Structure 1
Amino acid sequence: MSVASRSSDTPAADAAKLLMRLGLAVLMIALPCAGVVSRGAIYVLLPVGAILMLIGAMLGAPNHGPRQLRIALLSPAGATALFLTFWAGLSLIWTPFPAAAFIRFLQIVGTTFLVALVAAFAPERTKPLDLYLLPVGLVLTAAATLVLALAGPAWFWGGSEFDETLFERSVIALIVLVWPALGALSLREHWISAAGLALLVAAVALAGSAQIALAAMGAGAFAFAIAMSEPGRTARLLALILAPLILLAPALVLLYGFIFRLTGLEPGPASTSLLVWSDLIAEQWPRLITGHGFDTANRALSLGYLPARTPKSLLFVVWYDLGLVGAVAFAVLIARVVVLAGRIPAIVAPAALAGLVAILTLAFLGVAAAQIWWVTLIDCNVVAFAILIKGVYRTQRPIAPTIDAVGLQPQTAQAGAASSSQGA
């Protein structure tokens, strides 16, 4: 009897696997590590890594991507994202800075669509080795950031009013990307390694007294713990909190301004930002419907058309740029994405929900909400979660077939044995 040997993969399949893994290494290891020493590396590495992954995926399974992309775009969340993109593009008509806003719009839409293609064309089953790339990349990034934070070189801590320092960028990248990394380690049941990575990231944030980063880390950890038992219910609760917060933000700001002025207290930095927003609403209330146009808040603040204490929160940016229409679309999109995160396999749903909470905490507290590098980082996070979700299959062991499953009932077997003995 001859033993059949498994045929080796074709050259095209080998090339596809190589390109996929190389692209993942660029995104999961090189991108966060390079961000420690360079502000511009992220703009080069994400397209390079995404294109390598896309070419590899198209070589491996060219017919898989279009169907997945069509399903995603026609889903409620996809349709809402398309409408929000349409409204942002339409607002270019009345933005005060059309040329700069158009370039930024193309950059954001182009990068995000490239990432959507990567997520759609990626193989349905992630290789186990690929799940470890992001944890390795974050350990290297966290170690380098911690060393530089303690050493304190001027180029690492230097920044400007409108741009974060390299330390702040590195910490934000760690807070954003740590959740798919923790999900990957949890998926492989490396709980001690997951706890060690979380503590390492928290230590980096503590070393630089990054209060907003620590708040985001704490909020994500709390969401992760709550979602461990009932991710679906946790997702619905988060949607019920986040959507009204987005929709009622101007009303809450006006109420805060009214109450604060009645008390006569001396405003601090946070209170000053909210009071500036309150004054802008009162002075320019007709623009609450349509907004001022895409990228107006970021451009007007950098050019001095808005007060220096104007909020940088994503809530302010959405309302100021896109108005009520954009805010409603954004609130619906966030609610649907959160609910979808609660419906993915329960073993990775807590990490996805924690990642969303951490990202929104950073954005709502005013971290880089309108900057291209922030959007690019979120796109990298989307790829990481797509790889994580598609890795669930590799960790599930097949269930041993029961007697019923093979079509043999215990009673039937016993009866057959008895009749055989009687016949004998």
Structure 2
Amino acid sequence: MVRASHPSVDPAVDAAALLRRVGFFGLFVLVPVTTQMGRRAAVILAPIAVVLLVLASAIDGKSGPWRPAALRLLRNPAFLAGLLVVLWAALSLVWTPFLDLAAERLLNLIATILLTVAGYLALPERMRSANLYLLPVGTAAAALVAILLGLFAHHLPGTPGEIDGTLDRGLTLLALIVWPAVAWLRSRGRDLESLGLAVLTAVALVISPNLLHLAALAVGAAGFALTSLRPTLGVRVASLGAATLLVAAPLLPFLARPVASALFGTTAPGTLSLKAWQKIVTGEPMRLVTGHGFETALRGRIVNLLPANAPTTLLFELWYELGIVGAFAAAFALRAAIRRSGRGTPVLVPGAMAAFAAAFTIACIGVGLTVMWWLTTLTVAILAFVAVAHGQFRTRRPKASQLARHEAP
């Protein structure tokens, strides 16, 4: 009796597959879940997961030649504009009053960017569905953990402020990765499951009410709905809206303060924060050109270089630290990235616009410019979407009759 021949087993390929599986499990499941409970979980686990993906790619080469991919990335206008922001931040070390701290933070920023690029280059050209289904599984698990913590956090040991701060970081990640998870499920024709995942995430965010997360959820959902109905309009609104806000940020306190005073009163914290921003703009108009230097916004509050109630948002800190050069370069990079995502696989575009809208909302409301856990959160979201995009090489299972005709001699 003749046995059917089997291809030889390559231990290296099996090891690479195992490393890749563990890496994606860490990135898509462990990071979202543990971030709900540990303040530094994402900062610690995400680099480990990316390293595993890089090792797997180095072993089996399924990510394809890295040099052409790197060259395409270097020719990408959004990436080049982002590099300009980093270079200008490095140049601003010349006039920043906190040279040592700013240099350390800049190195951390560069390390995070390199980590993201390494993860991007290590992703397989064709993602397996089994690995991508870990993303909605991890998102659902993180949402369930967040719901339990929101309901029973007061029974847990530790100070309430510490628990709430940790959960806020986890919910921020959850508000972002839900969109690539939804996009993946929709690309597989699982619309009901994607709706259920979105609802579960919304419940998790509502149970632990926070204006930041609720606003991100609402804006992301609006972007998703608009792009689903009118794809071209949704991409245009997202790209122009984000770029316009970055470019016109110094005008916002003058426009928003009267509205805030009428709605919330002149002594409301938000109104006073806008007043402080307004005084900074009018007090040093020439600093709008060069900025005060990298890391000045955060450290300046500690030594009273700027008011303690100054805004802690991307719009303020970008202009305050890097001036018009950094702000305009960042606006161009963001607009180019959104437009590039809008030219991707049509079924993924609504999720991409929702993720951009949610991330930009979070950055504009209350996350600093270079907070490490926030940068790591963005890394996880970016790699998740790129992985989902690499999983779109086939959208339908071939029919058995087609396979039979193809295999016939």
With structure 1 as the length reference, what TM-score do the two structures score? Answer: 0.88
Distance 1:399 1:225, change over 3 A: farther
**What amino acid sits opposite 1:219 in the alignment?**
V
Q: 2-side partners of 1:9 and 1:128: how far apart? A: 22
SS of the aligned residue for 1:165 comes to helix
| Change in 2 beyond 3 A, CA 1:203/1:256 | closer
Aligned to 2:194: 194
Partner of 1:253: 253
Aligned twin of 1:149:
150
Task: Quote how far apart the aligned CAs of 1:157 are.
Answer: 6.6
What SS class does the counterpart of residue 348 from structure 1 fall into?
helix
Mapping of residues 114-153 of structure 1, within 5 Å: 114-153=115-154
Distance in structure 2 (CA, Å) of the matches to 1:78 and 1:356:
16
Deviation at 1:77, TM superposition (A): 1.2
Q: Quote the Cα distance in structure 2 between the aligned partners of 1:261 and 1:37.
A: 38
- Measured in 2, the distance between the counterparts of 1:39 and 1:180 equals 23
- Matched with 2:217 is 217
Residue 219 of structure 1: CA displacement?
0.9
Deviation at 1:210, TM superposition (A): 1.5
Residue in 2 that maps onto 1:321: 321
Question: For residue 389 of structure 2, what is the aligned residue in structure 1?
Answer: 389
CA pair 239-380 structure 1, distance change in 2 beyond 3 A: same
User: Counterparts of 2:376 and 2:393 in 1: how far apart (Å)?
Assistant: 28
Change (3 A) 1:181 1:8: farther
Q: Could you list the runs of 5+ residues in structure 1 that have no partner in the other structure? A: 407-424
Instruction: Tell me if structure 2 keeps the 8 A contact 1:135–1:181.
Output: yes
Partner residue, 1:336 = 336
What is the number of equivalent residue pairs in this alignment?
401
* 1:352-375 Cα distance to aligned partner (Å, 9 max, x none): 111000000111111354411000
CA distance in 1, matches of 2:263, 2:33: 48
Residues in 2 aligned to 1:362 and 1:66: alpha-carbon distance in whole angstroms:
34
Matched residue type, 2:161: G
TM-score, L = length of structure 2: 0.91
1:237 matched to 2:245: no
Map of 1:219-368 to 2, 5 A cutoff?
219-257=219-257, 266-368=266-368
Deviations 1:146-180 (A, max 9, x none): 112111336577337xx971121121111011111
Return closer, same or farther for 1:194/1:255 CA change in 2, 3 Å cut-off.
Answer: closer
Q: What is the CA–CA distance in structure 2 between the aligned matches of 1:42 and 1:263, rounded to whole Å? A: 38
Cα deviation for residue 37 of structure 1 reads 1.9
**What does residue range 179-190 of structure 1 map to in structure 2 within 5 Å?**
179-190=179-190
Aligned partner of 1:159 among 151, 158, 161: 161
Aligned partner letter, 1:126:
M
1:98 alignment counterpart: 99
Change (3 A) 1:178 1:369: farther
Point out the structure with max Rg over C-alpha. 1
Checking the alignment, whether the CA contact within 8 Å between 2:253 and 2:274 is kept in structure 1 is yes
Q: How does 1:393-412 map to 2 (within 5 A)?
A: 393-397=393-397
Match in the other structure for 1:82: 83
Residue aligning to 1:422: none
Equivalents in 2 of 1:141, 1:127: separation in Å?
22
Per the TM alignment, residue 313 of structure 1 is displaced from its structure 2 partner at its CA by: 1.1
Aligned pairs (5 A) from 1:170-185: 170-185=170-185
Contact 2:53–2:119, Cα closer than 8 Å, also in 1: yes
Q: Return the alpha-carbon distance in structure 2 between the equivalents of residues 157 and 165 of structure 1.
A: 10
Structure 2 unmatched runs, 5+: none
After TM superposition, the structure 1 stretch with the greater mean CA deviation from structure 2, 200-209 or 315-324, is 200-209
- Matches of 1:355 and 1:156 in 2, distance apart? 32
Distance across 2 between alignment mates of 1:59 and 1:299: 44
Is the 1:156–1:165 contact (alpha carbons within 8 Å) kept by the matching residues of 2? no
Aligned to 1:53: 53
Measure the CA separation in 2 of the matches of 1:30 and 1:233: 36
- Measure, in 2, the Cα distance between the counterparts of 1:148 and 1:400: 48
Aligned-CA RMSD value: 2.7
CA contact (8 A) 1:69 1:117 kept: no
Partner AA of 1:96 in structure 2: P
Judging changes above 3 Å, is the alpha-carbon distance between structure 1 residues 262 and 137 closer, same or farther for their aligned structure 2 residues?
closer
